[in-house]
Every structure is written in C-alpha cells, then in structure tokens.
Amino acid sequence: MLILVSDTSILIDLERGGLLESVFSCGLTLIVPDLLYEKELEKENGPYLRALGLGVVALTPDELALAQTVKRQRPTLSLSDCFALCCAMRPACALVTGDKALRSEAKARGRKVYGLLWLLDQMAASNCVDTTLLYTGLSRIAAHPRCRLPADEVKARLNAWAPG
C-alpha cells in the first residue's frame, strides 16, 4: 500500500475544492510529519483533518538530521517541507506536493512525487467519488488566483468530468 506524504499546499487545494472528505473516503492514506501538522494545520483545521483520517508521524533521529541537512543545502525550502521530504523517503511512501522546489528536490533524491491532479485522478479511478464532485472541486481550485496547475491538464480533466 502506498502511503502519501502530503505538504500543506495539497490539503489547502483540496479544502478549496470541497474535496477533503472525498480524498479520505476513497482508500488513500495521507500522512504529514508532526512539525508540519503543529506549525501549519493544527490551529486551523487539524482536529477535523485527523478525524477524517490524516495521519501524523514523527521523524526518527536520522530523519531529523537529514531534514536539517536538506534545510541547510536548500534554504528556499521551509523546515516543514524538509520534514515532509524526509518522511517521503521511507519505504512505501511517496510525496504529494504542489511546491515546485520541493518536487524538484524529491525527484533529485529519487523519490516518487505526485501532484494534485494525480491525486484527483486516483479519486476518480477509485469510483468512490462522483466525477461531478471532482469537476466542481477542480473548477473551484482552478478559479483561485494562486492556482498554478497546468491549464491544459485542468481543461482535459474538466472536459472528462463535465456533468451530462
């Protein structure tokens, strides 16, 4: 079973699209490192995310040391990003991120990296989430001024998931 280590941007986009409940209902396992949860999620909607099924994990001492090394080497990454990267380096884990710098670093370290559109595709393939809900959610996400998703890929999915 693949365990998906999420960064904050993915969870924010899912919330924007009204898809948080759906992502946890289709058999996907999402986790975040404890530092990311405590710094970026706990006060906002952390307990809600935990109730939905979000896992929170601690890094081992070796992973903590690696996270600090990565942070020194890549100062553009936040410490939370470095924690997520190190967590995603575990066997059976992959990173899910919308952050270009984090994606690049994970790929350079030979890790599997996916984005929001891949995650939505998995939700569609599970047949647990109605494509009309995915259409509405992706439309909301794409309409946000800070959306950085590739327009052609968004359009292709919206066409495939269009109601009727």
At 151, the pLDDT band (50, 70, 90 cuts) reads very high
The reported pTM is 0.94
For the segment 56-82, the average pLDDT, to the nearest whole number, is 96
- Using the predicted structure, report yes or no on whether residue 105 has a pLDDT greater than 90: yes
Which of 34, 78, 38, 42 lies closest to 58 in space, CA to CA? 34
Average model confidence (pLDDT) for the chain?
95
Average pLDDT, stretch 16-29? 95
Percent of the chain with pLDDT over 70: 100
pLDDT at 164 over 80: no
DSSP conformation class of 2: P
CB of 117 closer than 8 Å to CB of 154: yes
Q: With b meaning 16 or more CB within 10 Å and e meaning fewer, what string describes 33-66?
A: bebbbeebbeeeebeebeeeebebbebeeebbeb
Q: Is the pLDDT of residue 103 over 80?
A: yes
Give the residue from 161, 116, 113, 164 showing the smallest Cα distance to 141: 116
The residue-averaged pLDDT of 57-86 equals 96
- Residue pair 88/6 in contact (Cβ under 8 Å)? The answer is no
φ and ψ at 57, to 5 degrees?
-125, 150
Q: Is the pLDDT of residue 41 over 90?
A: yes
Q: pLDDT tens digits, residue range 115-149?
A: 999 999 999 999 999 999 999 999 999 999 989 99
C-alpha–C-alpha distance, residues 65 and 61, integer Å: 6
Q: Which of 7, 99, 97 is nearest to 54 (CA)?
A: 7
Q: What is the pLDDT of residue 1?
A: 82
